[in-house]
Amino acid sequence: MSWKIREVKTKSGKIAIQIFKIKQRKRVDFTHIGSGSTELEMQDLRNQAYNWIEKQNEGQPRLFKVKENEIDTYFKHYKYLGFSYSYFYEFLNKVILKFNLNKHLNKLQLDLIISQILEPSSKRQNLINLEQYFGIKYNLNYLYKLLSKFDLKLKESIEKEIIEIAKSEYGFDFTFVLYDVTTLYFESFKSDDFKKPGFSKDNKHNQPQVVIGLMVTQEGFPVHYDVFKGNTFEGNTFLPIILDFKKQNNITSLTVVADSAMISKQNIKELTDNGINYIIGARLANLKKEDIELIDKGIKRKDGEIIKFNNLIIDYKEKRYTKDLKELEKQIEKAKKYENITTTKNTKLKFLKKR
């Protein structure tokens, strides 16, 4: 959005100079420069407005050199029309051709991908951005009509092309992948069988969403994904995607890296039964007390120190230790305040247990 200047007549008869932006067809971010009644005052206010805008543009110089006392004349002769991300569009089109996506998607779908990469937005806003940034215009009704004819085999076809790129450009051999989950919410409060409220990573807990599980190479290049109902626990997405990927590509040896949300006895058993190696972040607090005490005795209090305990690799971080200790001391102090309180029917103590 670019800054614009407008002149508004006030009740006192003067003319006010204001600066604003247009967002969703509304004027926003108003800045009042001042009011004037003579042509000399108005010219001075316009100059102030132009200089203010120039500062907001991070000091970007004007296209033509102009003296300070000629600013008003300068802007009467030249008008800002906008800009175009021509190189950005050309570059991503080259990438699309490299990935052979043009074999599976039509021109509008490819342009929507480019628009989403530039500025993630709604379908309607994508069309506005395509016209504003690239000079490409589509009809909204045509977009909705196109989406209603979605190819059910499109995901499978594109994944094959993507994996070929991963193999040729990154030497991907299916032996090592990383997995994580995110959520995508909808600007609606109406759920259906698939779009459901759940744990939202965007803090949109009242709005329906879907859960996305994504698998990438060690360089972060995506090779496989799937979509789940919005109320799916992320740990329950782990096995279906891993096993499906292994089966589709006839993989014999695979190591997957994931965070602690994916860990459970059932998941670990399934991974082991299917011959899949795993590296999963774990919380020591979930271990038995005896095991924690053994680890505590075995590890040195030195930043970067590492020990092995059964199938765990444990490292010591001074910064994390300091943070956890501070949080623990807070909880202890909080518990001490309740220690001598006599409980009644109206008193409820949380997480306090005398030994």
Q: What is the pLDDT of residue 175?
A: 93
- Compute CA 43 distance to the chain's CA centroid, rounded to the nearest angstrom: 45
Q: Select from 112, 191, 97, 195 the least CA-distant residue to 146.
A: 112
Neighbouring residues of 349: CB distance < 8 A, sequence distance ≥ 6: 338, 341, 343
Q: Helices (H) and strands (E) in the chain — how many of each?
A: 11, 10
Q: Convert the pLDDT of each residue in 54-75 to its tens digit.
A: 777 655 565 655 555 555 555 5
Q: Convert the pLDDT of each residue in 314-328 to its tens digit.
A: 888 888 888 888 998
Q: Select from 152, 162, 153 the least CA-distant residue to 224.
A: 162
Q: Select from 48, 158, 67 the least CA-distant residue to 105.
A: 158
What is the C-alpha separation between 104 and 150, in angstroms, rounded? 11
Q: What is the pLDDT of residue 352?
A: 54
Instruction: State the pTM of this model.
Output: 0.65
- Please list the ranges in the chain whose pLDDT falls under 70: 1-2, 57-83, 339-355
Q: Select from 26, 83, 23, 91 the least CA-distant residue to 57.
A: 83
Neighbouring residues of 266: CB distance < 8 A, sequence distance ≥ 6: none
Q: What is the pLDDT of residue 294?
A: 85
Domains (range + CATH), the chain: 4-77 (no CATH), 86-147 (no CATH), 171-281 (3.90.350.10)
Contacts 24+ apart (CB under 8 A), 53-59: 53/3, 53/5, 53/19, 56/3
Q: What is the pLDDT of residue 53?
A: 78
Q: What is the pLDDT of residue 61?
A: 61
Q: What is the pLDDT of residue 229?
A: 92
